[in-house]
């Protein structure tokens, strides 16, 4: 790992450096992108799950409606919770690979030069 | 059909085979543990398995850590006896992983080192926050441990077919229970002290393969019996249950409607909502799950491990659906409750019935029963090892090294203390489990989830996402949520004042719900907020460091 500081940058403490990065536009964009995905998605799956639990408690007639043979709405609704969980996990993974990782890597590389005392260990 | 567990003809064979298979599992895992101990040199090796596991390996280990006997035997049993309602449980357990995936896993991996408290205390005063986190970690882990170990004791007597009046190796059922609790306790201490995180992780991976293999094989047999027609399996289960279509709908166990008693019905439905919330929000606050994210090298690998875990755990819960309804249809509720009122033996009983059908005769039944019984033991062992590791890590890294020694302990001292802690926690849980073995402690798993959701999760989320959050807020959130959950459960019908309570002969119950989450989780979040705004402390620089490091992985350990 490099220990020399670029001549143009005056010696900065790690704390100042982190503060500067946190206030940079690039980092603000990363934070906005991440929060813009995970917060609404969390609200969405939580409401979707809450709807399922509330219907299980209060809409027994609807949940008991038979669709095909002995397969009723409750079973299908439950299985849809599995499907939505798998789909959200897949969507997040695709989003993070495309939108988060490249930006995070770039910022980390920029910081790496100053904070070598914290460098990856073990 | 012969569905009584350990039926006369097959009983000796099944028992011997169960013990043999179990000993093989123990021998293999001990060999792995000894091998892992040779690779364990630094504190990072001991606490985090050298951060050398791949996303897939860690995903399997997470599955092995998470799919406890409560999920395998418990959920299959609830479905077998109460039908659809067991499914509600598994859905909560699965959806919960989205909280871990979206909000916690990667940020925690980037900013922490060995324990949950590394993240909570990152920008706070170390001693109060680490003390609170250690208290909460140990409380949650001990609750969980007790439920598993008492369950193991009860299970062994049932699975080895030791009935009142008969003996096994000169032990009656009660002695066998105590012996099992001590054996499970001793093995988990060995896995953790000798093998550290590396040994424990491999034990969990092996167990995950065994459990998935066993559940998959049984599911295929159940479906084959019904010619892969799900509707006719459900129909048979419903008619065998004697409850008809209601068996396939929610409401037999949770949110029960009591005609003419509107208040009781209301409480019962609130209880269902309360359980649902705790299940979904608890997972991402369980310390033994959180420390698994430190065993991989990067945040990206942590993400991959959660994706694998979601796939594995989701598949497993779909299988338990077939196992539960299969047990209801093939074994029948009456034969199950004769063995165990809670239905914990439904899956092993189903294995025996399937073995009789497909492998031929009592010997076939005995063989499949033995395999599934051994898988159940392996399941318990892997989970208790994870819990012991989480609590001893927190005791050593948070309490000893950072609170008592102000961060001045050497790596060697810290790891030694962790090993001693594992021994102490093992001894304490053995003694508590023996004391509690005849009490109904099944509620402790739900309580562990409630405490994790009420105390740990608010502290973690505020830490990672709220700039203003401070020491006072973290301490308030953890103690507030923890106390609210524990106190409410103490005054609930699961502890006293009901025939199924832990102390059925006493009555100090006034809180009407069995699950405290619906009150204690908002209370924990409220405490965290209130504690924060009542304190002036705020460290902008440290938050900048935490935020940048958690989002980018800069300076990650």
From the list A14, A38, A82, the residue facing B318 with the nearest CB is A82
How much is the pLDDT for A117? 47
Quick one: closest CA in B to A102, which residue?
B552
How much is the pLDDT for A24? 95
The whole-angstrom separation of Cα A35 and Cα A74 is: 33
| B310, A94 contact by CB (below 8 A) | no
The whole-angstrom separation of Cα B73 and Cα B78 is: 9
Give whole-number Cα distances, B102 to A38, B448, B452, in Å: 6, 22, 17
How much is the pLDDT for A122? 35
Q: Phi and psi of B252, rounded to 5°? A: -80, -25
From the list B251, B310, B555, the residue facing A115 with the nearest CB is B555
H or E segment at B477? helix B471-490
Query: Tell me: the pLDDT tens digits for B264-314?
Result: 999 999 999 999 999 999 999 999 999 999 999 999 999 999 999 999 999
- Give the per-residue SS3 of B211-262: HHHHHHHHHHHHHHHCCCCHHHHHHHHHHHHCCHHHHHCCCCCCCCCCCCCH
Query: Tell me: the pLDDT tens digits for B56-79?
Result: 999 999 999 999 877 788 899 999
Average pLDDT over residues B309-320: 96
How much is the pLDDT for B471? 97
How much is the pLDDT for B94? 96
Q: What is the pTM of this model?
A: 0.92
Query: Tell me: the pLDDT tens digits for A24-69?
Result: 999 999 999 999 999 999 999 999 999 999 999 999 999 999 999 9
The whole-angstrom separation of Cα B101 and Cα B105 is: 6
The whole-angstrom separation of Cα B389 and Cα B200 is: 8
The whole-angstrom separation of Cα B398 and Cα B412 is: 15
First and final CA of chain A: distance in angstroms? 15
The whole-angstrom separation of Cα B53 and Cα B44 is: 12
Its ipTM equals 0.93
Query: Tell me: the pLDDT tens digits for B330-346?
Result: 999 999 988 888 888 89
Which DSSP category does B114 fall into? S
Please enumerate in sequence order all residues whose Cβ is within 8 A of that of B420, keeping only pairs 6 or more positions apart, or say none. Answer: none
The mean of the pLDDT values for chain B is 92
Chain B stretch 29-88, residues whose beta carbon is closer than 8 A to a beta carbon of chain A: 42, 44-45, 48, 50-51, 84, 87-88
Could you state, in order of their start, the residue ranges of all structural domains in chain B? Answer: 8-248+284-438
Could you state, in order of their start, the residue ranges of all structural domains in chain A? Answer: 14-114
Beta bridge partners of B171: B168
> Under CATH, what is the fold of the domain B8-248+284-438?
Amino acid/polyamine transporter I (1.20.1740)
Q: Is B434 exposed, middle or buried (0-12, 13-18, 19+ CB in 10 A)?
A: middle
Question: Distance (Å) from the C-alpha of residue A19 to the closest C-alpha of chain B?
Answer: 5
Q: Looking at the predicted structure, is the pLDDT value of residue B414 above 60?
A: yes
Which residue in this structure is represented by tokens 């369950």? B151
How much is the pLDDT for B439? 82
| B286, B449 contact by CB (below 8 A) | yes
Quick one: closest CA in A to B307, which residue?
A89
| B391, B421 contact by CB (below 8 A) | yes
């Amino acid at each position: 790992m490099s220990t020399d500081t670029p001549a143009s940058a005056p010696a900065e403490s790690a704390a100042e450096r982190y503060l500067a990065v946190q206030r940079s536009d690039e980092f603000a964009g990363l934070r906005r992108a991440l929060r813009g995905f995970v917060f609404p998605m969390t609200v969405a799956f939580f409401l979707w799950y809450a709807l399922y639990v509330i219907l299980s408690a209060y809409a027994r007639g609807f949940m008991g409606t038979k669709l095909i043979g002995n397969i009723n709405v409750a079973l299908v609704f439950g299985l849809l919770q599995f499907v939505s969980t798998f789909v959200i996990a897949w969507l997040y993974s695709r989003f993070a690979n495309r939108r988060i990782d490249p930006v995070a890597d770039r910022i980390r590389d920029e910081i790496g030069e100053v904070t070598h005392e914290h460098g990856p260990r073990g | 059909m012969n569905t009584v567990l350990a039926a006369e003809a097959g009983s000796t064979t099944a028992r011997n085979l169960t013990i043999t298979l179990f000993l093989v599992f123990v021998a293999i895992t001990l060999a792995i543990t000894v091998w892992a101990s040779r690779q364990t040199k630094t504190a990072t090796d001991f606490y985090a398995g050298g951060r050398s596991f791949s996303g897939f390996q860690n995903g399997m280990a997470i599955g092995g850590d998470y799919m406890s006997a409560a999920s395998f035997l418990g959920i299959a049993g609830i479905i077998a006896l109460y039908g659809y309602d067991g499914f509600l449980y598994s859905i909560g357990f699965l959806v919960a992983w989205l909280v871990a995936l979206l909000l916690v896993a990667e940020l925690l991996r980037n900013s922490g080192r060995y324990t949950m408290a590394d993240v909570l205390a990152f920008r706070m005063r170390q001693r109060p926050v680490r003390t609170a986190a250690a208290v909460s970690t140990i409380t949650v882990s001990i609750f969980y441990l007790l439920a598993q170990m008492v369950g193991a004791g009860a299970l062994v007597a049932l699975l080895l077919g030791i009935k009142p009046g008969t003996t096994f190796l000169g032990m009656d059922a009660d002695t066998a229970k105590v012996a099992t609790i001590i054996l499970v306790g001793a093995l988990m201490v060995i896995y953790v002290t000798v093998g550290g995180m590396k040994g424990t992780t491999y034990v969990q991976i092996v167990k995950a393969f065994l459990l998935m293999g066993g559940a998959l094989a049984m599911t295929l047999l159940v479906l084959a019996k019904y010619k892969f027609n799900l509707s006719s399996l459900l129909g048979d289960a419903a008619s065998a249950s004697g409850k008809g279509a209601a068996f396939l709908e929610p409401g037999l166990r949770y949110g029960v409607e009591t005609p003419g008693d509107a208040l009781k019905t209301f409480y019962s439905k609130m209880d269902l909502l309360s359980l649902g919330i705790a299940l979904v929000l608890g997972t991402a606050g369980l310390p033994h799950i959180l420390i698994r994210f430190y065993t991989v090298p990067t945040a990206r690998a942590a993400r991959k491990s959660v994706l694998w875990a979601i796939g594995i755990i989701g598949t497993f819960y779909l299988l338990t659906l077939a196992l539960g309804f299969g047990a209801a249809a093939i074994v029948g509720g009456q034969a199950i409750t004769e063995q165990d009122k809670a239905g914990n033996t439904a899956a092993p009983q189903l294995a025996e019935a399937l073995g009789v059908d497909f492998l031929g005769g009592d010997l076939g039944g005995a063989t499949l029963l033995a395999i599934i019984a051994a898988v159940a033991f392996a399941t318990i062992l892997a989970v208790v090892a994870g819990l012991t590791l989480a609590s001893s890590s927190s005791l050593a890294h948070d309490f000893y090294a950072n609170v008592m020694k102000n961060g001045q302990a050497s790596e060697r001292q810290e790891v030694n203390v962790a090993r001693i802690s594992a021994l102490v926690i093992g001894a304490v849980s053995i003694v508590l489990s023996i004391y509690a073995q005849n009490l109904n402690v099944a509620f402790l798993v739900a309580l562990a989830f409630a405490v994790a959701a009420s105390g740990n999760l608010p502290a973690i989320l505020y830490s990672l996402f709220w700039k203003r959050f401070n020491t006072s807020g973290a301490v308030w959130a953890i103690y507030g949520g923890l106390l609210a959950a524990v106190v409410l459960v103490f005054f609930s019908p699961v502890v006293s004042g009901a025939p199924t309570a832990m102390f059925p002969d006493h009555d100090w119950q006034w809180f009407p719900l069995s699950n405290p989450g619906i009150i204690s989780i908002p209370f924990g979040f409220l405490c965290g907020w209130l504690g924060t705004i009542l304190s002036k402390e705020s460290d902008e620089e440290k938050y900048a460091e935490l935020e940048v490091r958690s989002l980018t992985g800069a300076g990650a350990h």
